[in-house]
Structures are given as structure tokens and as C-alpha cells.
Amino acid sequence: MFLSLIVMIFLITGCTYTGAIRDDFYAATQKESAKINLTVGVVDTSKNKNKAFIFGGGGYSVDIKLGAIANGLQSELSTIFEKVILTDGKRCSFCDLNVTYESIWKNTLINTTSGNLTFDTALKVNFTDAKNTTIHNFVATDTAMYNTPGSVHALGFITGFTLFALSPITIPAITNVIGEHAEQVLEETLKRQISQIGEKVVLEPSLKEFSVKNWSNNTPDSASQHVSSKYDDLMDAVTIIRTSSGFGSGFFISKDGLIVTNAHVVGNNGNVSVKLRDGRTLLGDVVRRTEAFDLAIVKVKGSGFTWLMIEDADEAPVGTDVITIGTPKGLEWTVTKGIVSANRKEVRGINVVQTDAAINAGNSGGPLISLSSGKVLGVNAFTLFRNQQAQGLNFAVSSKEVAKIVNSLPR
């Protein structure tokens, strides 16, 4: 009865609630996985900014702008990608990927007695590359339940009981209560949907694969074509390993895709990009990591890879001619030559090989190879006095330590 009275009053007054989702309505939770090394633009078009949740009946209406969805997506995607920016209506020209979205609301149930509403809703998010080619579409669905607040019925009772004398006060109050509650329902629903989108993005391999390919196509010093060298077989076994925080080197130790590198090269990442000398770039899984020895094992899918043997000796003979292969300062597959200067124990008790072969940033994880046997004597790790005047004091984790971690892998 009282709801019928309210409807009659709304027919006369035509009250409208106008509002908007708060820009900061969504706060993303940090992800445990490493960020994908891509720059993403969330395209905030005027269409999206002005899109509103609109519902009306019996002379009243609710008009709530949904433009803040873009802010929510930016917050969530910033925990997944290296950099996420909010664009103003246009695609981001320098971004690796652009994101567009659409929020759809369909009223599926109206309870005319209670005023309760049910909506089926979907948030569609589309990732495209620089050529506007779709990489992947994501959809998060939900059901939004709007239950009329008890205060609306109370205000309706007061309105009817006073024979509408207080309607100039109660009707706007009812409209505000309906609208504010609708905003809360909208925000909670959109929070769930944006979180769903984030979970799906994290699990979607095509975006990580795109990151790998994108890096492969944009490296400044491609070595896919090279002049023949007597070191080709050794160089073919060496890889470049890249994460969101930098890059280093590695090398195959089996034909079925096992790669040795430094623990500090892979960091805390579960996956890394692995570039081969033939130009291919593969996704690698970090299957073993030991900070104590600064060593890690990465596995890529495939077989028939050129690989290097680990020297099975306690110490490398001093004076042995050696080469290092890696990517110092981003210069791919650089070979430097020297000798074994000494065998030492590092302060943590790790066996290391001292060499005067140049080791620079980017060489980490690459092999120190004996020229007489072609076997790996150690994994290039660090240089002493990097910022001082000393030269030729370079170190590799001994093959003895490498063998320990390799032999610990399940067969």
C-alpha cells in the first residue's frame, strides 16, 4: 500500500538521483607473481566516461556514471604489468598493449511489491596490440542484487501517514537513499568483476608470450645473422635471459631444454624470457633456484638444443685458456678471452674460479669455457672492485657447485 503511494508521488514529482562511481572505489591487491614486462594503456573514451547505470520506474530514476571503471582497471592491471597508464580517449601510441572495456547491465527481475531488483552484468575487457589486433578478450560476469533499504519503507510510511504533507522532504530523501544504495551495489559488483579480470589476466599465457615476442622483436643488437666462427657451437648453446627487472645470460646443459644461469639473474620470477642465438624467444620456467650458490635452473619446452658439458673436476688448472660468452651491456653473444687465474673459496664458502676474462653487467649466468676441452668450468657471476681501479678480477661459480644443483634435479 505504502509502496503504491510512493509510486504515485514519484509520478508527480519525478525525482532523479544523479551520481557516479568514486574514482578510488577499487584498490588492487599486490600479486605474488612477477610483473609482465609490458606497457599497457587503458583507453578511457568519452563513451565510457559518460556511460551510466540508469534505472527508473514510477516517476523516479537513478543515473550513476560508470567512468571510474577505467581507474579500477588501471589499479588492478598495475599489479600485473610493468607500467599501466590511463589514456584520455585515444589509444596509447607508445604502449605495447591497449585495453578497451564495456560494462553491460541487464535487468532480469523486478519485484513490484518490495522494489528489489536483479541484474545480470558483464565486464568485457579487450587487449589489442599496436596494430589494433586483438590479443585476448576477457569477460567477468556477475549477478547484482538490489534490495530496497528498510529506510525507504519507513520514509514511505511517514509520507503516507502525514497525507503527503512531508513529501517535499521525504521524497527527495527516499530518492537519495535509493541512489546511494545503488552506488554501493554497483561498486561492490564492479570490484568483484575487476578482480575476476585480474585473475584471468594473470593466468592467460598469451600475454606472457606476447611479452616474450615483443622483447625479441625490439632488442637493439640482434644476432640472428652472424659471420661463421670457430666458437659457433659454443655460442649456440648460450642464451639471453630477461625478466621485468633486467637481463643476463645462461646456457643449455641438455638437449631437452635445461638452462643454467645465476639466481640473481632470474630473481624471484617464476617465468623468464629466453632468447636463442637463432632468433627464437621462448618462455622459460624457473625450476630450481639456490641463493647460497647464486645458481638457478630454467626449463624451456623443446628438444634438440645445442648444449654444453659441465667439467667434472674439483679445480680448473691455473693458466687454462678460457672464454666467456654473454651479453655485456646488451651486446649479444659477446666472446671475451682470458685464462684461469686461480681457484678460490668465496666468503660464503662457495668454490669459485678466478679469471682475467672480462665479465661485465649482462655476462652474469653465462659460461666460462675451457678452450682445450670445450667444457664449462664455471658460471660467470661477479667482478670485484667494479667501481675501482682494479682490473681482471672476475669470478665464476665453479663447475663443482654447478654439478651439485644439476644432480639434485629429479630424473
Residue with grid cell 624467444, as numbered in its chain:
281
Cβ–Cβ under 8 Å, residues 352 and 384: no
C-alpha closest to that of 175 among 52, 14, 50: 14
Q: Is 104 in a helix, a strand, or coil?
A: strand
Instruction: Give the Cα separation of 271 and 285 in Å (integer).
Output: 5
State in words which class domain 2-213 has. Answer: alpha beta
Q: How far apart are CA 78 and CA 84, in angstroms?
A: 5
Interatomic CA distance for residues 247 and 274, integer angstroms: 10
**Cα separation, 400 vs 234, whole angstroms:** 20
- Per-residue pLDDT reduced to its tens digit, 96-120: 899 999 999 888 767 656 667 888 9
What's the confidence (pLDDT) of residue 184? 85
Following CA atoms 258, 264, 267, 270 in sequence, which dihedral angle do they give, to the nearest 10 degrees?
10
Query: Domain ranges in the chain?
Result: 2-213, 321-399
Q: Are 283 and 273 in contact (CB under 8 A)?
A: yes
Distance separating alpha carbons of residues 214 and 130, to the nearest angstrom:
11
Catalytically active residues, by annotation = 264, 294, 364
Q: Summarize pLDDT for 323-375 with one digit per residue, the tens.
A: 999 988 778 889 999 999 999 887 567 889 999 998 887 889 999 999 999 99
CB 266 within 8 A of CB 288: no
C-alpha distances out from residue 66 to 23, 85, 142, 164, 194, Å: 10, 19, 16, 34, 13
* Neighbouring C-alpha atoms within 13 Å toward the C-beta of 37: 20
- Going across the sheet that includes 16-20, the strands are 16-20, 60-65, 52-57
Using a cut of 0.95, tell me whether the model's pTM lies above it. no
Give the pLDDT confidence score for residue 387 in this predicted structure: 46
Question: Partners of 398 in the beta sheet?
Answer: 378
Q: Within 10 A of 168 (CB to CB), how many other CB atoms are there?
A: 10
For residue 279, the one-letter residue type is G
**SS3 assignment, position 45:** coil
* Predicted local confidence at residue 154, as pLDDT: 53
The three cell numbers of residue 357 are 676474462
Measured CA to CA in angstroms, residue 381 lies from 203, 285, 293, 296 at distances of 33, 21, 10, 12
Q: Dihedral, CA atoms, 323, 326, 332, 334, nearest 10 degrees? A: -20
The CATH-assigned architecture of domain 321-399 is: Beta Barrel (2.40)
Q: What values do phi and psi take at 392, rounded to 5?
A: 80, 10
Confidence (pLDDT) at 11: 41
pLDDT less than 70: residues of the chain: 1-14, 56-60, 109, 111-115, 147-177, 212-228, 244-245, 347-348, 382-392, 411
Select from 146, 279, 307, 299 the least CA-distant residue to 218: 279
pLDDT at 92: 83
- Per-residue model confidence (pLDDT) at position 314: 77
Length of the chain: 411
d(CA 142, CA 121): 5
Q: Residue 224 has what pLDDT?
A: 44
CA distances from 320 to 44, 250, 310, 390 (A): 62, 22, 16, 22
Kindly state the cell numbers that stand for 42: 587503458
DSSP state of 30: P
End-to-end Cα spacing for the chain: 77
